[in-house]
Structure 1
């Protein structure tokens, strides 16, 4: 089954993983450069993750990376909620185990899909 714009959808997923895989300092600098808050990193992944199964079906993503993608989603979901507000600060990017875990998982997916995890951080347009 071919879905429209699969290369675009794959790019969105890869870009969200690239941001998750980046070291904490690079993530914080990216947030500052684009004037967005930390949860944007997770929201970008959540939007892209919703397309993962369709990308696998279209042959644009390896089925073997789905467990890691699901684990990233589970970790970020577990970090959500008002009681976890401290996990969504810039400082948390450096010290929180959830961010470290998603970083490791995202790197594994990028290596599986691209052969290496270090990629240029994506540019975004923020509509205000």
Structure 2
């Protein structure tokens, strides 16, 4: 399997952070548009986060954002498990403190990496 180049990796991370940083209403609309469930937001981030250190090593991501990326990963991880199923609903996106915290952290990383430029929510292809 080919390893994606650093610009592709960075784009995946920025797109996942853009979705995490979006307000709850926009996130719900995105879920509805793509016909997926809330955990897709976290799964997209987890996939992109796996490449974050390689992006820093390649000079495509500022090392100062790694602590926030790690914290996002930790918050989402702490929300996992059957006992936390209620945290993965569309309703929870607007009321759960974990989602609010990841939203704030993701916005901070985006500002650090992109400045104040707003990014559109990413499009995805769902294979069913």
TM-score class, shorter = over 0.9
Q: For residues 121 and 38 of structure 1, what CA distance do their matches in structure 2 show?
A: 15
Q: State the Cα RMSD in Å.
A: 1.0
CA positional deviation for 1:4: 4.8
CA distance in 2, matches of 1:117, 1:34: 24
Distance 2:110 2:41 in 1: 16
Q: 1:80 to 1:88 in 2, by over 3 A?
A: same
Equivalent residue pairs, number: 126
User: Which residue number corresponds to residue 102 of structure 1?
Assistant: 102
Equivalents in 2 of 1:106, 1:127: separation in Å?
A: 27
Match of 2:13 in 1: 13
User: Residue 91 of structure 2: SS of its match in structure 1?
Assistant: helix
Deviating 4+ runs (over 6 angstroms): none
Select between 109-118 and 85-94 the one with higher mean Cα deviation. Answer: 109-118
> Cα–Cα, structure 1 residues 53 and 23, in superposed 2: closer, same or farther, change >3 Å?
same
Residue 29 of structure 1 pairs with residue 23 of structure 2:
no
Q: Output one character per residue of 1:12-46: Cα deviation in whole Å (capped at 9) or x when no partner.
A: 00000000000000000000000000000000000
Structure 2 CA distance for aligned equivalents of residues 18 and 124 of structure 1: 13
Residue 59 (structure 2) pairs with residue 62 (structure 1): no
- What 5-or-longer segments of structure 1 have no aligned partner? none
Shift of 1:119: 1.4
Deviations 1:60-105 (A, max 9, x none): 0000000000000000000000000000000000000000000000
Structure 2 residue ranges without an equivalent (≥5)? none
